[in-house]
Amino acid sequence: MCKCKKIMKIVGIILAVAAAAAAVYFLVKKLKDKKAIAANDSLESFVSCSCLEDEPIVVEDPSA
């Protein structure tokens, strides 16, 4: 009976450590996903100024 109790304690400790590691992993993953979504939102809402795209680019020759 004594060996069985020791084995069960060891298994319980291993399961507790594995559960804690899984919780930390999913928390970090959730936070990284949330930051990635926020970064993508800011890029999608970016509006460039296209008012100069229709005008031709004039380059003056410095030697002339």
Cα–Cα distance, 33 to 40 (Å, whole number)? 11
- Asked whether residue 5 is assigned to any structural domain, the reply reads yes
| pTM exceeding 0.75 | no
CB hemisphere CA count around 56 (13 angstroms): 3
- Asked whether residue 9 is assigned to any structural domain, the reply reads yes
- Asked whether residue 49 is assigned to any structural domain, the reply reads no
Cα–Cα distance, 10 to 53 (Å, whole number)? 69
Task: Give, as one character, the DSSP assignment of residue 14.
Answer: H
Cα–Cα distance, 45 to 8 (Å, whole number)? 55
Q: Work out how many domains the chain is built from and give that number.
A: 1
pLDDT at res. 34? 79
Task: Give, as one character, the DSSP assignment of residue 61.
Answer: -
pLDDT at res. 60? 76
Give me the average pLDDT of each 10-residue run along the chain (64 residues).
91 98 95 75 59 64 68
Supply the range of the domain harboring residue 6: 1-43
